[in-house]
Structure 1
Amino acid sequence: MLLVLALSMPLPAQAAEGPVRIALTAAAVRDELPFYDRWAAYLGRKLGRPVEFVQRRSYRDIIEMLRTGELDFSWVCSYSFVQALDAGLVDLVATPVFRGKPLYQSYIIVPRDSPTTDLMQLEGKSFAYTDPDSNTGYIVPRAMLRDSGHNPERFFRTIFFTWDHGQAIEAVADKVADGAAVDSYVWEYLAAQRPRLAERTKIIQRSEEFSFPPMVARRGIDPDLRRRFADAILSMAADAEGRRLLGEMMLDGFVALPASSYDKVRALPTARPLR
């Protein structure tokens, strides 16, 4: 069932247009429901339309909803973005800036008391991935294994998917998994907001940096709505309320980048093409 996370209160004249629907994926911290109420209300005032944040289990579900026109915008993983862009489904709107850079990494994490010090020492262990279309939670760690001469299909004793970076962190903290690959932004956010969880894990390896998971628009969306949404997102750091919301997300703001900024993600070995 589709989870409606937030809805701004529209004026009666606005209701006929229907809400602007924005999807959240594992690229965002999705369990802060009161925050998304406030962000929806903020964006609704900027757009002059009600706004809904919605959630699905996987990146592939969200991309399919963009394909069928059920969504207007989405905050997606970098790898899902290049897949959808190459399939002609979406266009880049804005990229978040975290700690001064529009970049993030894959963190390889293990339980705090584990003697493991790098990914190669997890051979024959249990490992948590987040999503088959996750850049930092699946594509990158598998590329790291290949680069070290290992077969990702045979390296771990067992693997499973958590469908959420926070859940992968919990799986390691609770020792359900011997290790996991997670989004650096989500780990750092939880380290600040839920330190009792993150401190039960430790980072043993960091990947190279990639362009941060972006906000995208469905291809073919009304150009004026896309422009107004881009203006609202890109100008958040310019007003007090926007800065407060960004602060709650631990983001500096959003910037407009060329799609070519994601070419390094595109060059990674792929998991499965969009059809």
Structure 2
Amino acid sequence: MFSIGAATLGFLSRQADAQTSFRLGLTPVFLDNDSETIDRLRTSLSYAAGMPVTLVQKRTYQEVTGLLLEGGVDAAWLCGYPFLQHRDELSLVAVPLWQGAPTYRSYLITSAEDPASGLTDLRGGAHAFSDPNSNSGYLVTASDLARNNLRPEQFFSRIIFTYGHRNVVRAVAGGLVRSGSVDGYVWEALTKVEPELTDRTRVVSRSEPLGFPPFCARTDRIGEPDLAVFQAALLQMAESERGRDALTLLQLDGMIRGEVALFDGILTRMQDLAGHH
């Protein structure tokens, strides 16, 4: 964690007035809509890139992906699912490393006292998803059900979309729903910053490792100077003090360029879901 002084923010504000900002799209589905975290990330990225970075937040993956495709932002921190949905138009900019690897898992969670030992035990209960275009917060559970010729709306008594992984944990912890599908990285991060919340939940099952939510840009913009500078800043974050501060804030280890093959597991699940619909 680190603090940002008013003078620093003022300096960045004056920089932003002097030149065009690099616009990065985000959604609170993945990165919780916390103003302090957002401010710190923006400041660190601006310094690392040597240019002002503006964080543009949208409520859903559909909205932020649409904004990226329309040119409303220069890059976006997406999920592997929408990246693959628009693979013909999008390219990878960087993939974060978490616990030393560019992968994470989807967690199926219940309340701490729930006796369920797997997905089949949760039939007939209410379930929380994060976003219909989230891999860990929807696709993994939906494709697990599809492999057994089931749909979420048939299997669960009620489904809700919370549009935030932390909100899935809250819904389960608070008894609003029996179970939820959540990003394992977010759940693990919450155990460190909000243990009183995660202590009221339990991980019933974990998916196989899948490609971590990547930074993406339109393919026709790859090679543009500002995007190249931003990409270099991401890839070199672990090499500077401010970059390491941002990584620590996000509980990440670094960034790599990444290969599309990292997302093959998500593609398989997309095909499984489509094949049973």
TM-score, normalised to structure 1's length? 0.89
| Aligned residues with identical type, % of pairs | 34
Tell me which protein shows more helix as a share of its residues. 2
Which residue pairs with 1:85 in the alignment?
87
Question: Which residues in structure 2 correspond to 1:61-140 (within 5 Å)?
Answer: 61-86=63-88, 88=89, 90-140=90-140
Query: Contact 2:117–2:204 at 8 Å: present in 1 too?
Result: yes
CA distance in 2, matches of 1:68, 1:231: 24
Which residue pairs with 1:41 in the alignment?
43
CA distance in 2, matches of 1:11, 1:175: 43
Aligned AA (1:37): D
Query: Contact 2:22–2:226 at 8 Å: present in 1 too?
Result: no
Aligned AA (1:45): Y
Give aligned pairs, total: 264
Structure 2 vs 1, CA of residues 115 and 147 (structure 1 numbering), >3 Å: closer, same or farther?
A: same
Which residue pairs with 2:179 in the alignment?
179
Aligned AA (1:34): E
Aligned AA (2:211): S
Let me know the Cα RMSD of the aligned residues: 2.0
Aligned AA (2:159): I
Query: Contact 1:8–1:41 at 8 Å: present in 2 too?
Result: no
Query: Contact 1:130–1:181 at 8 Å: present in 2 too?
Result: yes
Question: Which residues in structure 2 correspond to 1:136-151 (within 5 Å)?
Answer: 136-151=136-151
CA distance in 2, matches of 1:52, 1:151: 39
Which residue pairs with 1:200 in the alignment?
200
Deviation at 1:27, TM superposition (A): 5.6
Which residue pairs with 2:241 in the alignment?
240
Which residue pairs with 1:190 in the alignment?
190
- Give 5+ residue unaligned stretches, structure 1: 1-6
Question: Which residues in structure 2 correspond to 1:147-166 (within 5 Å)?
Answer: 147-166=147-166
Structure 2 vs 1, CA of residues 43 and 13 (structure 1 numbering), >3 Å: closer, same or farther?
A: closer
Structure 2 vs 1, CA of residues 206 and 144 (structure 1 numbering), >3 Å: closer, same or farther?
A: same
CA distance in 2, matches of 1:49, 1:243: 18
Once the two structures are superposed, residues 198-253 of structure 1 have per-residue CA deviations (whole angstroms, 9 ceiling, x without a partner) of 11000001111101000112333361111111110111111122112211111001
Query: Contact 1:105–1:183 at 8 Å: present in 2 too?
Result: yes
